[in-house]
A and B are shown apart, each in its own frame.
Chain A
Amino acid sequence: ILNVEQSPQSLHVQEGDSTNFTCSFPSSNFYALHWYRWETAKSPEALFVMTLNGDEKKKGRISATLNTKEGYSYLYIKGSQPEDSATYLCAFGSNYQLIWGAGTKLIIKP
C-alpha cells in the first residue's frame, strides 16, 4: 500500500517568519511529486509538479525541493504573510494516479 506522509499536521507561524514542511513518499515507481495549496472554502490549486531528482521550483516566496532517492520533498515559505494561511497538500504520482497526503495546515499569526 502506497503511503504519503506530511509533517507537521499543523503549524502556527508568526507573520514575517519563514517556515518549511515535509512530504515523505515511496522511493519506488516514482513518476511525479505535486504540491497544492488549499484555502478554506475553495478548491486545491497546484503550486508545483516536480519529476526529476534534485528538482527545485520557486513561485514568489514559495519554493520546493525534491529527493526521489530518499523519498522526500520540502516546501519552503519565506517571510510568511496572512494570505499564506492554507492547507498544503502533497501528492505522489505513479502512472495515472495521485496518492495524497493528509496535508499540513498553516496558520499565520499577525
Chain B
Amino acid sequence: NAGVTQTPKFQVLKTGQSMTLQCAQDMNHNSMYWYRQDPGMGLRLIYYSASEGTTDKGEVPNGYNVSRLNKREFSLRLESAAPSQTSVYFCASSGPGTAGEEQYFGPGTRLTVT
C-alpha cells in the first residue's frame, strides 16, 4: 500500500499563476484533509472532506478551492497564487472521519510563490 500520495513534491509559482495539488489515498478512508504548515505555527486546516461528495471549510480557506473527485482523490487548487501562500502543504486521510481517528499524512508539497 502506498498510503497517502501527493504530487508535486516541490513547486515554484509566480504571483497570479494557478495550480492544483493532487492527493490520493489507497486505504479506503472516508475523510480527507488539506493542511498548510508554516514556521512556528501548528498545522492549519484549509479544507476537509468528511465523506465522498462533501467538502467543508477549515480554519484558513481563503484563496483555495477543493474537489473530492472520488473516494480516493482530494485536490487543492490555488486559482491566483499569492506570496502569502508560500508554505508546505500536507494532505491527510482518516477512516470513519470523526476526530477520534488518527490521520495519515502524505509526504507534503513545498510551494514557493514569488
Contacts and interface: CB of A to CB of B under 8 A. Distances in A.
Interface string A91-110: 10111111111110000000
Given A45-B105, A94-B99, A96-B99, A102 B44 contact: no
Given A31-B100, A32-B100, A96-B50, A89 B105 contact: no
Assign chain B's interface to a size class.
20 to 34
Contact of A49 (B35, B40, B101): B101
A103 B99 contact: no
Contact of B103 (A4, A46, A94): A46
Assign chain A's interface to a size class.
20 to 34
Interface of A: 4, 31-32, 34, 42-46, 49, 51, 89, 91, 93-103
Given A43-B108, A95-B99, A96-B31, 20 more contacts: A4-B42, A31-B98, A31-B100, A32-B98, A32-B99, A44-B90, A46-B102, A46-B104, A91-B43, A93-B98, A93-B100, A94-B99, A95-B98, A96-B56, A96-B98, A97-B45, A97-B99, A99-B59, A101-B42, A103-B42
